[in-house]
């Protein structure tokens, strides 16, 4: 817990933001996050975010689904409860493929959605810190974490010169990473 303090640069235009963000980073300043009301193409690269690992998680979920489906049907049909279907071998794997496919897709997609929601703190009922209410309307907010050692005046002028329309300070007293209402 504890409190955290942020300096917020409020931007009004996405083109200014897309040039401002790399300019701020070039000065060696670490950006906590950028909040925008709509997705902005190219912002990920401008912020220097690493490539998402969500697809690797998706692959693992998918493989899990494949193994569970194939494994369970193999166990049920060849070991636990053998049933003769039209004289076919007990281990008739082509018949398992549709269910395996479905379970692979289901586990990969449901797992990815859940992971995405967890990582982005998006699940219903999850409390979020709102930096500035206008970030959900028409302004883009560049948040930089500061403490008592930060030269706020210098940082303010860097933000202003990078195109921020106004610079505010935001203190969040009750900082949590994950909290469900």
Partner 1 sequence: MGHHNTEVDLNERFEFPAKLKNIAFGLMGVGLLAFLAGVFISHDSTRTLAVMLQNGLFFMLITLISTFFIAIHYMANGGYMVALKRIPEAISQTMPIIALFVFGLIAYIILGKRNDIFIWLNIPAIKNAEARELLEGKTGYLNVPFFIVRIIAYLTVWSFGVMQYRKFSLQEDAAPAGSMKNHINSRLFSGFFLVFFAVTISTSSWDWLMSIDAKWYSTMYGWYCFVSALVSGISLMMLVIQYLRNQGHLKAVTDEHVHDLGKFMFAFSILWTYLWFSQYMLIWYSNNPEETVYFRQRYDHYKVLFYLNLLMNFVTPIFVLMKNTSKRNSRVLVFIASVIIIGHWVDYYQMIMPGTVGNNWHIGMQEIGLPIFFVGLIIWRTFSQLEKAPLIPKNHPYLQESLHHHV
Is residue 15 at the binding interface for partner 1, with CB under 8 A as the rule? yes
Is residue 140 at the binding interface for partner 1, with CB under 8 A as the rule? no
Rounded to 5 degrees, what angle do the CA atoms 50, 53, 58 make? Answer: 160
Q: Kindly indicate which of the ranges 13-21, 145-153, 154-162, 168-176 contains the residues binding partner 1, using the contact rule CB under 8 A.
A: 13-21
Is residue 48 at the binding interface for partner 1, with CB under 8 A as the rule? no
| Start-to-end CA span in the chain (Å) | 16
Residues 141 and 168 sit within 8 Å (Cβ to Cβ): no
CB of residue 92 to partner 1, shortest distance in Å: 9
* C-beta closer to partner 1: residue 95 or 110: 95
Q: If you search the block for the tokens 């220097």, which residue do you land on?
A: 48
Please tell me the count of residues contacting partner 1 according to CB under 8 A. 16
The CA distance from 50 to 52, in Å, is 6
* C-beta closer to partner 1: residue 93 or 118: 93
65 token code pair: 């689904």
Is residue 41 at the binding interface for partner 1, with CB under 8 A as the rule? yes
Rounded to 5 degrees, what angle do the CA atoms 101, 83, 66 make? Answer: 20
Sign of CA dihedral 70, 75, 106, 62: negative
In what helix (H) or strand (E) does residue 33 lie, and over which residues does it extend? strand 33-35
* C-beta closer to partner 1: residue 23 or 68: 23
The CA distance from 129 to 127, in Å, is 7
> 69-98 mask for partner 1 (x: CB under 8 A)?
-----------------x-x-----xx-xx
* C-beta closer to partner 1: residue 9 or 62: 62
Q: Which of 33, 42, 114, 157 binds partner 1 (CB under 8 A)?
A: 42
* C-beta closer to partner 1: residue 18 or 69: 18
Q: If you search the block for the tokens 């912002």, which residue do you land on?
A: 43
Q: Which positions lie near partner 1, rule CB under 8 A?
A: 15, 18-19, 22, 41-42, 45-46, 55, 59, 86, 88, 94-95, 97-98
């Amino acid at each position: 817990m504890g409190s955290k303090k942020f300096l917020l640069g409020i931007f009004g235009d996405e083109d200014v933001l897309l040039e401002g963000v790399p300019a701020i980073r070039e000065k060696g300043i670490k950006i906590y996050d950028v909040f925008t009301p709509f997705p902005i193409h190219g912002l990920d690269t401008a912020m220097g975010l690493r490539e998402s690992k969500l697809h690797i998680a998706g692959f693992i979920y998918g493989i899990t689904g494949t193994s569970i489906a194939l494994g369970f049907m193999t166990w049920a049909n060849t070991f636990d409860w053998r049933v003769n279907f039209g004289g076919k071998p007990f281990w008739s794997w082509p018949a398992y493929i549709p269910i395996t496919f479905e379970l692979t897709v289901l586990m990969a997609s449901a797992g990815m959605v859940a992971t995405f929601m967890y990582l982005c703190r998006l699940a219903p009922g999850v409390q979020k810190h709102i930096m500035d209410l206008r970030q959900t309307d028409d302004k883009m907010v560049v948040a930089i974490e500061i403490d008592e050692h930060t030269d706020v005046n210098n940082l303010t002028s860097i933000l202003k010169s990078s195109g921020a329309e106004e610079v505010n300070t935001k203190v969040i007293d009750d900082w949590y990473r994950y909290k469900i209402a």
